Structure 1
Amino acid sequence: MSSTRVGHFQALDLSTEDRVIVQDELYGSFTITDPVLNELLRLPSLARLIGVRQHGISALLRFTPPITRFEHSLGALLLVRRVGGTLEEQIAALLHDISHTALSHVVDFALSEPGEGSFHEVHKMRFIETTTIPEILTKHGFADLRPLNEELYPLVEMPTPHLCADRLDYGLRDAVGFGALSLEDAQRIITSLKAFPDAISPHRLLILESQEDALALATGYMTCDRDVWGNPAHGDLYTRTADLMRSSIRAGGIQEEELWRLSDDEFWAKMRQVLGQDEQKAMIKLESESLPDDQHLPLPRGAKIRTIDPEVYDCSSETAVPLSTLDKRYGTEREEYIRARKALYA
C-alpha cells in the first residue's frame, strides 16, 4: 500500500482507482468506495487543503502542530460515516471547508467586514464556481447542490455549544495535538459517540454515551481555547499577519484569487516578494520571535470564545441531556470561563 501523508494525523492511499484508503490515528482505517467520494477526494481543489494549516500563522510559525484543513475535512466525513450518516451528509462534511484560504482564519482579520462572518463562508460559492465540484455532484445525482450547504445537515453543523462533526473533529485533533487530551482519551471519546435518536432523524444530534467522556472532551476543548484558539498571544500573531495580508492584496501585489491558489508557505513567500522593506522586517520579526507574552495583551474583537456543552445519553429518561445539567460544576466553570474571556476583548 502506497500512502501519502495529508496531515498531522492522517495518510491517504489513492493507488487503487476505485477506492480510497484512509489511515487516521484518531479514527482508525477506512476504505471509501462510494464513486462520488472517490472522485471528490482526488480533486486538486480539495487536495490543495493539504497545504493549508488549520491554525494559520500559529502553525506556519510552528507554535502549533501542522494539522491540515484536508485532514479535518476528511475527519468530519469519517465521523459522520462512523455514526451512520447518509452519503449526502458525508459529502457535506467533506466539502464544508472547501473554500478555506491560505493561512485559514487570518483572512477574516484581514478582509472581512465587522459582523460579516468568516471569509471562507461568505465566499464559498465564489470559489466553488471555479471548480468542477458542481459538475461532479450533478453527475452523481446531487443536481440541487444541497451538500454544499452544510447547515442543512445536523451531524455536520450545529450551533454552539452542541456537538457536530465539524466542531468535534477539530476539537479532538487540536486537543491531542496541543496535549490537552491523550490519543487514548480521544479514541475512547470517539467510541462513546452516537447519533441520537438515530442518524436520519430530522432533529438528530451527535451525543456521547458516557458522562465521563463528555467531561473529558469539554474540558479539553476549553483548554484548547484558553491556550491557542482564544489566546491573546496567538491573536496577536493573527492581527499582525492580517495587516501584512491586507497590505499585500490592497496594493495589488497579490490578487485576491491567489488566496485559493497558494498554499500557506507559497502565500508567505509571495508576501515577502511583494511587500515593502518595513513590512518585510515585520515578517522577519514574526519568524524570529518567541510566542508573545499573553499577560497584557487584549483578545482581538473578532476572536471567538469557544466552549461546548455536549449532550449525554441519560438511560433513566432515554433522552439526551446537556453535560452542564448533569454536572453543575462544569456548567459553572464554563460560564465563568466565558465571562473571563469576554473581559479580555480589546
Structure 2
Amino acid sequence: MLIVDSLYGEFYIDGVLEELINSKPVQRLKGIHQGGASYLVKKEWNVTRYEHSIGVMLLVKKIGGSLEEQIAGLLHDVSHTAFSHVVDFVLENKDEDYHEKIYSRIINGSSIPTILAKYGYNLKDILFNDSRWSLLEQSAPDLCADRVDYTLRDLYTYGNISMEEVQHFLQNLIVKDGKMVLPNIEIAEWFTSVYYEEVIDFFMNPLNLYGNYQLAFVLKAALDKQIITLEDFLLEDNQLLQLVVCSQDDEIQHALQKLHPSVEVIDELTNYDFHQKMKVRLIDPLVCSENGLVRASDCSKQIQKLNQTALQRAVKGTYVKILSC
C-alpha cells in the first residue's frame, strides 16, 4: 500500500505493517482527535491520532529504526480513548496516562496479537517493553519520534511552521548511540522554540483548555448519570458525542450548547472562570560537540530562558475567563 504523509512524503508499506494499519484498532484512530475537544471550538485543530501514529512509524523508518520499532511506533497510541486526554480530566488523572494504564488490555483484546503472531513476532517483546525502543520513546527532555512528530505535525498543520523548516529539521536529525540528537545549537534552538509554541500556544491555549474543560464537564455528568459508561470511551469521538447528544438530560444539553467555534475566552489572572494546570513538558535536546553529546541548554542562553519560561508557565497554569459561549 502507498502511504502519503504530509510531513515525510510517500512510502510503500506491505506485510505486517500494512495488515496492522488496516486493522480495526488502528483504523479507529482516524476518529480520535489528537487535541481532544479542540476541534469542536476551532475546526482547524483537527489532527487525528491515526495521522500521528502513521507519522511516528514513518519517522522511525526514515531514521533507520527496525521493523519491530516501526510496529511499536504505529501501535503506541491504539489505546487512546475518545477525545484523547479528555478522559484524564473526567477522571481527574493528573498524570494524563489513562491510555497507558489500559494499553495491555486493549492490545490483548484486539486482532493485533493474531496479526503479529502470523508474521512471527513476539507481542510482549515489541509492545510491552518500551525500553527497547530508544528512537520511539524517551523521557523528557530528550527528543524521540513521538515528541518530534506531534510537534512538527501540529505546528505545520496549523500554519505555525513551513514545510521548508520541517524538511530542514528532518535533514539535520541524526541518530547517535541509538538516540535522536542534533548536529548544532542552531537547530536545537529552533526545535526548542517551536516545541514551546506547541506546549504554550496550543496545549495551554485558553480556547483549547476551554474546549477540553467543557467537554470533560459534559462527559463526567453523563458518566455520573449513567448515560454513558467508561467503556464507551473506547468508541470514536463522534460516536461517544452522539450518545451524549441523544440524551434528554437538560443539564447536559445546556452544557453541550457551550461547545462551538464562536466561543471567546482569554487568559486573565483575576476574575477568571477556571484555572487549569497541565503536565509539565520540557525539552532540552542532546547536541553534538567536540566533547561528545551535551545538553543544548549548556550551550545556549536562549534555550535556558525558554526552559525557564515554560516551567514557570506550567507551574502557574492558565486562568481562563469566558467572554462569551
Q: Same fold (TM over 0.5)?
A: yes
Task: Give every structure 1 segment of 4 or more consecutive aligned residues whose post-TM-superposition deviation is greater than 6 Å.
Answer: none
Who is 1:310 aligned against?
285
Q: What displacement does 1:130 show?
A: 2.3
Please provide the CA RMSD for this pair. Answer: 2.0
- Segment drifting more, 43-52 vs 281-290: 281-290
Counterpart Cα distance in 1 of 2:296 and 2:251: 50
Rounded Cα–Cα distance in structure 1 between residues aligned with 2:305 and 2:94? 30
- Match of 2:69? 89
How far residue 177 of structure 1 moved from its aligned partner, in angstroms, is: 2.4
Gap change, CA 1:291 and 1:187, over 3 Å in 2: farther
Residue 154 of structure 1: SS of its match in structure 2? coil
- Correspondent of 1:165 among 145, 150, 153: 145
| Structure 1 partner of 2:12 | 31
Which residue of the partner structure matches residue 7 of structure 1?
Answer: none
Q: Deviations over 1:19-65 (max 9, x none)?
A: x21111211111112x2111101101110101111111012332543
Distance 2:257 2:29 in 1: 25
Matches within 5 A, 1:77-156: 77-115=57-95, 117-149=96-128, 151-152=130-131, 153-156=133-136
- Kindly provide the amino acid, as one letter, of the partner of residue 51 in structure 2: E
Equivalent position SS for 1:181: coil
Paired residue secondary structure (2:59): helix
SS at match of 1:307: coil
What amino acid is aligned across from residue 27 of structure 2 in structure 1? A
Give the deviation of 1:321 after TM superposition. Answer: 2.1
Inter-partner Cα distance in structure 1 for 2:79 and 2:248 = 25
Q: 1:234–1:146: structure 2 CA closer, same or farther, 3 Å change rule?
A: same
Q: Deviations over 1:46-91 (max 9, x none)?
A: 1010111111101233254311100101111111111111111111
Displacement after TM superposition at 1:111 (Å): 2.1
**Which of 195, 202, 212 is the equivalent residue of 1:238?**
212
Q: 1:112 to 1:299 in 2, by over 3 A?
A: closer
Quick one: distance in 2 between partners of 1:256 and 1:98? 17
1:342 to 289, 308, 315: 315
Is the CA contact 1:189–1:214 (under 8 Å) kept in the aligned structure 2?
A: no
Q: So what's the TM-score if we normalise by structure 1?
A: 0.85
1:284 to 251, 257, 261: 257
Specify whether residues 137 and 145 from structure 1 end up closer, same or farther in structure 2 by C-alpha distance, changes over 3 A only.
farther
How far has the Cα of 1:272 moved from its partner?
1.1
| 1:177 aligns to 2:157 (yes or no) | yes
CA contact (8 A) 1:92 1:150 kept: no
Q: Does 1:206 align with 2:171?
A: no
From 217, 229, 241, the counterpart of 1:268 = 241
Helix, strand or coil at the partner of 2:259: helix
Residue deviations 1:244-263 (CA, integer Å, cap 9, x gap) = 112222322223222222x2
How far is 1:112 from its partner?
4.8
One-letter amino acid of the structure 1 residue matched with residue 227 of structure 2? G
Please tell me whether the aligned partners of residues 55 and 64 of structure 1 are also in contact (alpha carbons under 8 angstroms): no
Counterpart of 2:225, as a letter, is: A
Asked whether the equivalents of residues 104 and 128 of structure 2 are also in contact (C-alpha less than 8 Å), the reply is no
Look up the match of 1:220. Answer: 194
CA change 1:139–1:166 in 2 (3 A) is: same
Counterpart of 1:56?
36
Q: Are the aligned partners of 2:183 and 2:287 in contact in 1 as well (CA < 8 Å)?
A: yes
Deviation at 1:113, TM superposition (A): 4.0
Distance 1:104 1:135 in 2: 26
Structure 2 counterparts to residues 184-195 of structure 1, below 5 A: 184-195=164-175
Q: Out of 76, 98, 110, which is 2:56 matched to?
A: 76
Q: Which residue of structure 1 aligns with residue 27 of structure 2? A: 47
Counterpart CA distance in 2 for 1:114 and 1:104 is 14
CA contact (8 A) 1:63 1:291 kept: no
Corresponding residue of 2:322: none
Instruction: State the alpha-carbon separation in 2 of the partners of residues 311 and 332 from structure 1.
Output: 17
Assess, with a 3 A threshold, how the Cα gap between structure 1 residues 95 and 291 changes in structure 2: closer, same or farther.
farther
Structure 2 distance, partners of 1:139, 1:292, is 52
| 1:85 match: secondary structure | coil
2:174 partner SS: strand
**Which 5+ residue runs of structure 1 have no aligned equivalent?**
1-19, 198-203
Q: Deviation digits for residues 182-236 of structure 1, max 9, x if unmatched?
A: 2211111111112113xxxxxx211122432221111011012111112344223
Q: TM-score, normalised by structure 2?
A: 0.90
